[in-house]
Amino acid sequence: MQTDNAKGRPARARYHAQAQALREARQAEISGLARAMSTAWRTVDRATVRDAIQGHRGGKPVPLPTLEISEGLDRALEADGELLALWQSAVMEDTAIRIRLPIPADGLPPTAGITVEPHRPEEVRATDRRDVLRLGVAAPTMAAALALAENASHALSAQPSEWTVAQLDEGTTAIAESYWSTPHDQLLATLLDCYQQAESIGRATRLPAAQARISGIAGQYAYYLARLGYHSGDRRLATAFGVVAEQYAAAAEDPLLSGAVAGLRSCSAFNASRYAEAARVAEAALRAPDVHEYTAPRLAAYLASAEAAAGRPPRARAALERMNELPLPATRLPGPGHFDPAERTLYHALTLAELDDPVAPHHAQNAIEIYPSEHVEGSALAWCALARGLSQDDPGQAANAAVHALTLSNTWPAATVVQRARRVHAQLTVDHRHAPEVIALGKKLDIPATIV
């Protein structure tokens, strides 16, 4: 909070007047604004919002709101940075008065060049430094410079709340455990909330150690968002947060996160039928000198599946051998799912089915039997592997297996299952398009009969 003396502060008056005008124009209720400004880790009460807008309580002036509150109010009122610029001028005005610098009679003008980014609300773009040099060290500019120095000093010394960071850190493991059992919409809301919290904390401190830790945490949430986009079939979400997660992994120098992102990129390429690219991405990550032991067997599995789909049997079998040689992770870590015996059996089945190996259905049946019921996607993919493995010898049963995979996936819809089932359907329609089971599979996939 800033100084509580409101007399002779025209910049402060302009800020509060505009806040009230925006509230009236938006017909916004105080309670609604409070809810919009609250997060999972901090609740903004109505009194705080009322003080930030009115600037007084019971006829007495109250301190200016904090930066966090003013940014939140700017977003909630859709002010596009205008309110934040007025708040900054009011803060500079307070700073100048506090250190006894003269200010113009009509106060400081609104700060130029301030924007509030819609997806990065805590990032503020300040006045270009060339403007300061051009204007000279007039009193208002000096006050602004001193205010900036004060803010920088605070940021450099700010230590984020250990409790909050620990809760966010713990949340990355909790998400890994509950990912497959949480509905998409709930998962998206939780992940966005946690990601925004981590992003905000990271930008509020410049301490290298704190930034490195929070970068890793924010990167994990970005990865989960990209992964959810991949599984739900939202390519925009997958691509946008995949890039962000990759940047965080580089900033934090986190091999676990780097491997997770590489695996997701490989899977995305596979789902887009870019099998050679999927193999290249997985192989490059697997050969990285700092590849994490948690992600290594999964990357080998992705490599095997992609090489098989690309029509390169020797490479696919070599990747399967590599997968078998790598030790399975003992415990679950944040990021990709725990690569356990069920996953290893599944990728044997998926890879061998792509190679038309006659033992593929046997591996698929084993995967079906050992997969835990709560892992819907894994169980459904095991049925897809069985469908692919039966497609040559028993097209009717293959189509039935693919239908069963899609039915299982209804409880936790996954684009990965749909894509595999579509590939089975495309293969079956070459010679068996009129088979009733194949027609039923096409209907399950919502594929019009005219296009097959």
Asked which of 135, 157, 179 is the last residue of a domain, the reply is 157
User: What does 341-356 look like in DSSP terms, one character per residue?
Assistant: HHHHHHHHHHHHHHTT
Q: Which of 215, 196, 194 is nearest to 205 (CA)?
A: 215
* pLDDT tens-digit readout, 41-66: 678 889 899 999 999 888 888 888 88
Domain assignment present for 38: yes
- Give the best-scoring range by mean pLDDT among 53-57, 128-132, 148-152: 53-57
Is the pLDDT reported for residue 97 higher than 90? no
- Alpha carbons within 13 angstroms on the beta-carbon side of residue 240 total 9
- Partnered with residue 124 across adjacent β-strands are 116
Residue 397: CATH number of its domain: 1.25.40
Backbone angles phi, psi at 56, to 5 degrees: -155, 160
Cα-based angle 108, 109, 111 (whole degrees, multiple of 5): 110
Looking at the structure of the chain, the number of domains it has is 2
SS3 content of the chain, % helix, strand, coil (to 5): 70, 0, 30
Q: How far apart are CA 46 and CA 58, in angstroms?
A: 15
Report yes or no: 349 and 317 within 8 Å, Cβ to Cβ: no
Domain assignment present for 364: yes
pLDDT at 133: 35
Domain assignment present for 171: no
Residue 221: pLDDT band (50, 70, 90) is: very high
> Residue 282: what residue type?
A
Is the pLDDT reported for residue 141 higher than 60? no
Q: Which of 255, 179, 257, 269 is nearest to 218 (CA)?
A: 257
Domain assignment present for 97: yes
Structural domain harbouring 437: 340-452
State how far the alpha carbon of 154 is from the alpha carbons of 159, 199, 203, in Å: 10, 18, 12
pLDDT at 89: 82
Domain assignment present for 294: no
Asked which of 118, 139, 157 is the last residue of a domain, the reply is 157
**Locate tokens 């204007």: which residue?**
135
pLDDT at 323: 97
DSSP secondary structure letter of residue 181? G
> Residue 152: what residue type?
A
- Considering the chain, what is the average pLDDT of its residues? 84
Lowest pLDDT segment from 151-155, 171-175, 381-385, 401-405: 151-155
Domain assignment present for 172: no
Report yes or no: 57 and 97 within 8 Å, Cβ to Cβ: no
Which residues lie closer than 8 Å to 247 by C-beta, 6 or more apart? 219
Backbone angles phi, psi at 118, to 5 degrees: -65, -35
Domain assignment present for 239: no
* pLDDT tens-digit readout, 343-357: 999 999 999 999 999
Retrieve residue 113's tokens: 């060049």
Dihedral sign, CA of 431, 434, 435, 438?
A: positive
Q: Which of 64, 46, 53 is nearest to 9 (CA)?
A: 64
Domain assignment present for 163: no
**Locate tokens 């399975």: which residue?**
328
pTM over 0.85: no
pLDDT at 238: 92
> Residue 370: what residue type?
I
> Residue 391: what residue type?
S
Asked which of 140, 157, 174 is the last residue of a domain, the reply is 157
DSSP secondary structure letter of residue 310? T
Residue 124: pLDDT band (50, 70, 90) is: very low
> How many Cβ atoms are within 10 Å of 381's Cβ, its own excluded?
28
Is the pLDDT reported for residue 122 higher than 60? no
Region label for 8, one of left (φ > 0), alpha (ψ between -120 and 50) or beta (otherwise): left
pLDDT at 349: 96
- The kind and range of the H/E element at 56 are strand 56-57
* pLDDT tens-digit readout, 388-406: 999 988 999 999 999 999 9
